[in-house]
Structure 1
Amino acid sequence: MEFLGTTQVASYCGTKKSCLFPDPAPTSTTKDTYQSYYLPGYRHLSSWKPSVLHKVVSVLPSSAEQFGPTGRPPTVLPALRSALHSRYSTRDWHHANMVQLKGSEASRYWAGRMNTDSVRMMQDKDQLTHQMQEDSRRNLGDRISNIDFWRSELAYELECLLKETQALETAKKRLECAIAEIQVPLKTALECLYYREKRKEIDLVHDDVEKNLMKEVDLYKDCQEILAKLAQRINHQLGINRDVQHALEQDLSDKSAAHFIDTKCFNLRNTSDSINFYHGVEKADGTVSVPATWAKFSEDNIRCSQLARANSAKLREDTELAMESTSEELWNQYVSTNLAFNKRIAEVADAKNKLQAQLAKVLQEIFQTEDTIMLLERSIMAKEYPLKVAQTRLEGRTRRPNIELCRDAPQFQLVTEVHTLDDTIQTLKKHLQEARDTLQMLLNTKSKLEHDISVKANSFFIDKKCMEMRKTFPCTPRLIGYT
């Protein structure tokens, strides 16, 4: 700790009255231009700091020396000298102020952040409330549109069923021929499904081709079943028509009531008079279906009505339409499956080409990474020699004698240089390890790309083989039973 008006170095230039040696002659201009200042009660800094040059001997002053014109009597009692050592330093005072300011800044920062977060949270919640209400209203509108759609479908189907009263004379031979014709594309679709099971690993995916093939197989089987039932249920169609009519009327009545209720809910606003609190209503769940089962219920009713009308002995036109629609669905599904095959083949070929292009880029990146590793190793080796020089200089300077063992500017610079070189070497080594890890990753990527390319080539071959199997399809007259 340094006192005001002097430094630890300057304390050696002051007068030492109690020293046995005579005062040295001034050797610099510093003593002539700057007068050292000592606190009252202190002769010089050597009274509390041991001297490294000479030993201080205490001599009892005479009465003439105590009260002579050149003497300086103490102004502070010796008992109070310890109080000066127990006081805080200026550095402590500045540190305390700095801590207080930083604490205040942190408190203001967190308070401001809390206020900003609170305002933003209120805005977000207001926006969320408005958005949720708009979403609910939009969902109600969509639900009303769905109900209108199914109401129109049910009403149309009920009207058609009420008009259809005549029996349909079924040509059993046509039905049997149509069932036999459907068996050929069904077998082809099944073979394609079994053949595509030979795909490997990631390419063994449930893609659009497989979905269309499965849909095609199901459609073939459904068509066969429908045509078989048409031949068996011709004499029982009137009773089935009455049952289907009752189901359609009940479903249509339920949807009309639901449409009225949802329309009323859709028109409610925040300013409506009929709104009120119903605590706990959100916990009571009296629903018996989900949108999928709800739509499936009406779809099943319509499907039963269509099947009933198609099987009617007196509805020749509906039977003919059913045969033609079956043929059209089969053809559309066949075309859709072929389009999915072509698209998948193109995707696999494009993926294979991209993988090959990526493999070339990875190989190039591997070469560049290997060069980078070599350059990093050389750079690390190049930094070792300057580090040796700096450390050797530091080690050599530790052997300076006595007072020459000074912590001067070269000492600071050498220490800084050693730390900087150490950090540089560690950073380079870290980058070198990252480069080696990257190289290993690129090698793994290269292996994966090569394997994936072989998998894509196998899938491409399988899909091309399936397309060759699907070159032929029965014509429309044969699908509707004409041989």
Structure 2
Amino acid sequence: MEFLGTSQTASYCGPKKACAFRALPPAGPAPETQECYQPYSLPGYLYLKSWRPSLFYKVSNAQTCVDERATCRSPLRPPTILPALRSALFCRYSPRDWDKSNDLQMRGAEASRLWASRLTGDSMRLMQDKDELTRQMQEGTCRNLGQRLSDIGFWKSELGYELERLLNETHSMETVKRRLECAAEELNCPLQVALECLYHREKRIGIDLVHDNVEKNLIQEVDLLKCCQEHMRKLAQRIDIQMRDNRDAQHALERDLEDKSSAQFIDEKCYNLRNTSDCITFFHGMEKVDGTVSVPETWAKFSNDNIRHSQNMRANSIRLREEAENLLETLSDQMWKQFTNTNLAFSARISEVTDVKNKLQTQLAKTFPETSVHYLEHPQDAPEGCVLGLPNV
């Protein structure tokens, strides 16, 4: 153990007095040392410059008694070391310094506590503001989702109503098309009859091959029947093209209606989600994804355009259906008139032929007696197969 900086008043460190009357030898020079000690500073107070304590022990100039014959120190007594190094005393503090250090620490702790309380208050206010903002945003989102569901329901009802009317109109068009096709096929029978009549009338002999009203009416009837068939088939083709357009409009309505149903299912699921709902998963970056292809205005315009297109197709179908009905009525009237005219011509022609035939038979009956007398007188002039006494009919 080394006694550094011990007091001069300590009894065990003082010099041994041999004689009171001896003169003290001159004090030798103090050993020179380098001051390499750095003063200690508390953490957080490094900005304070090095300072020396205001209170330290003063070195007393005590005189020692030195024996010329023998040394004054005992081998069992530690040597006295004077506090010649001032740096050894730099770690000494005064009560003022101690109080000042404690006051600084308390002030620093108080400042840290105040800053922590302010930060806690700011954090709580920020949390409350964000919670209120989140609640308001969720309420706004719920209102928007509710309005969106109402819009989707409205357009779904409009699309469904228009689709139902288009399907009914398409069914009516199919019925009209079948009627036209059946009517065109049924005209083959009267057409065949008219052609048969013309064919058989070509078997007339001699002057009977006359171009009479019957032949004219038959030719008109054949032309009318062929024209009716052509009109019906052309109108049936137009109806078939219109039915394809109706199916295109129907496909667009069905696809739009299916998309609306899918969107309604998704929005209803989102509308029913709550903060306490199960199976909620957080997807990073989903708010930055712009997967939409339209805005509400273009979205509503798309459905409105589909409905308008379907309405136009229905209007065209109604016009074609009315045209087909009018055509059937008109052609039916024309054919019945032509059938009537042909039948009247046949009746008139038959009457004329019958009258002429009767007249010819009358004239034959009048001329037969004259010819029979001649044949009786000259039998060799009688025609072969003629029976005398009877008219050759």
The interval holding the TM-score normalised by the smaller chain is 0.3 to 0.5
**Higher RCO (Cα < 8 Å, 6 or more apart):** 1
Highest CA radius of gyration, 1 or 2? 2
TM-score, with structure 2 as normaliser: 0.33
